[in-house]
Amino acid sequence: MTTIAVHAIITPKPEHLQNVLSEMLGMVQGSRQEPGCLRYDLLRQDDAGTVRLHVQERYRDMDAVQAHRDSAHYKAYRAKASDWFQETPVVTVLEEVDVA
Protein backbone atom coordinates (compact mmCIF):
# COMPACT_ATOMS: atom_id res chain seq x y z
CA MET A 1 0.00 0.00 0.00
CA THR A 2 1.43 3.37 -1.06
CA THR A 3 0.56 6.69 0.53
CA ILE A 4 -0.66 9.28 -1.97
CA ALA A 5 -0.01 13.02 -1.77
CA VAL A 6 -2.19 15.50 -3.63
CA HIS A 7 -1.28 19.14 -4.16
CA ALA A 8 -3.89 21.51 -5.57
CA ILE A 9 -3.46 25.15 -6.51
CA ILE A 10 -6.67 27.17 -6.68
CA THR A 11 -6.77 30.72 -8.05
CA PRO A 12 -10.13 32.30 -7.26
CA LYS A 13 -11.49 35.31 -9.07
CA PRO A 14 -10.95 38.29 -6.74
CA GLU A 15 -14.69 38.85 -6.36
CA HIS A 16 -15.16 35.23 -5.26
CA LEU A 17 -12.19 34.93 -2.89
CA GLN A 18 -14.31 34.97 0.26
CA ASN A 19 -16.73 32.40 -1.20
CA VAL A 20 -13.88 30.06 -2.09
CA LEU A 21 -12.21 30.52 1.31
CA SER A 22 -15.45 29.81 3.14
CA GLU A 23 -16.19 26.70 1.07
CA MET A 24 -12.60 25.47 1.37
CA LEU A 25 -12.74 25.74 5.16
CA GLY A 26 -15.78 23.45 4.97
CA MET A 27 -13.79 21.12 2.74
CA VAL A 28 -11.01 21.03 5.33
CA GLN A 29 -13.45 19.95 8.04
CA GLY A 30 -15.20 17.35 5.91
CA SER A 31 -12.05 15.92 4.38
CA ARG A 32 -10.28 15.51 7.71
CA GLN A 33 -13.15 13.26 8.80
CA GLU A 34 -12.68 10.84 5.89
CA PRO A 35 -11.25 7.50 7.08
CA GLY A 36 -8.54 7.40 4.38
CA CYS A 37 -7.45 11.03 4.75
CA LEU A 38 -4.19 11.36 6.66
CA ARG A 39 -3.76 15.12 6.23
CA TYR A 40 -5.63 18.00 4.59
CA ASP A 41 -4.08 21.47 4.88
CA LEU A 42 -5.12 24.80 3.35
CA LEU A 43 -2.50 27.48 2.72
CA ARG A 44 -2.76 30.97 1.22
CA GLN A 45 -0.33 32.72 -1.14
CA ASP A 46 -0.74 36.43 -1.90
CA ASP A 47 1.52 37.26 -4.82
CA ALA A 48 1.27 40.90 -5.97
CA GLY A 49 -2.48 40.97 -5.44
CA THR A 50 -3.21 37.53 -6.89
CA VAL A 51 -4.37 35.13 -4.20
CA ARG A 52 -3.75 31.44 -4.67
CA LEU A 53 -4.89 28.75 -2.29
CA HIS A 54 -2.77 25.65 -1.94
CA VAL A 55 -4.23 22.42 -0.63
CA GLN A 56 -1.81 19.77 0.58
CA GLU A 57 -3.44 16.39 1.08
CA ARG A 58 -2.26 12.91 2.08
CA TYR A 59 -4.29 9.74 1.67
CA ARG A 60 -3.79 6.14 2.71
CA ASP A 61 -4.02 4.98 -0.94
CA MET A 62 -5.69 5.71 -4.28
CA ASP A 63 -8.96 4.19 -3.05
CA ALA A 64 -9.02 6.88 -0.35
CA VAL A 65 -8.37 9.57 -2.99
CA GLN A 66 -11.32 8.26 -4.98
CA ALA A 67 -13.49 8.14 -1.85
CA HIS A 68 -12.61 11.81 -1.28
CA ARG A 69 -13.60 12.69 -4.84
CA ASP A 70 -16.85 10.76 -4.40
CA SER A 71 -17.71 12.42 -1.07
CA ALA A 72 -20.79 14.63 -0.78
CA HIS A 73 -18.78 17.61 0.49
CA TYR A 74 -16.33 17.43 -2.45
CA LYS A 75 -19.11 17.18 -5.03
CA ALA A 76 -21.04 20.04 -3.41
CA TYR A 77 -17.96 22.27 -3.38
CA ARG A 78 -17.14 21.55 -7.02
CA ALA A 79 -20.73 22.26 -8.09
CA LYS A 80 -20.77 25.62 -6.27
CA ALA A 81 -17.26 26.78 -7.11
CA SER A 82 -17.00 26.01 -10.81
CA ASP A 83 -17.53 29.67 -11.84
CA TRP A 84 -15.44 31.10 -8.99
CA PHE A 85 -12.01 30.27 -10.44
CA GLN A 86 -9.78 32.68 -12.33
CA GLU A 87 -8.06 29.69 -13.90
CA THR A 88 -8.54 25.94 -13.86
CA PRO A 89 -7.26 24.45 -10.58
CA VAL A 90 -3.96 22.61 -10.95
CA VAL A 91 -4.07 19.25 -9.18
CA THR A 92 -1.03 17.01 -8.93
CA VAL A 93 -1.29 13.45 -7.59
CA LEU A 94 1.98 12.03 -6.29
CA GLU A 95 3.03 8.64 -5.00
CA GLU A 96 5.19 9.10 -1.92
CA VAL A 97 8.61 7.47 -2.16
CA ASP A 98 10.58 8.66 0.89
CA VAL A 99 8.79 11.22 3.08
CA ALA A 100 9.61 12.08 6.68
Q: What is the pLDDT of residue 84?
A: 96
Sorting pLDDT into bands at 50, 70 and 90, what band is 6? very high
Sorting pLDDT into bands at 50, 70 and 90, what band is 30? very high
Give yes or no for a contact between 78 and 27, defined as CB atoms under 8 angstroms apart: no
pTM: 0.93
Closest CA to 81 of 11, 29, 6: 11
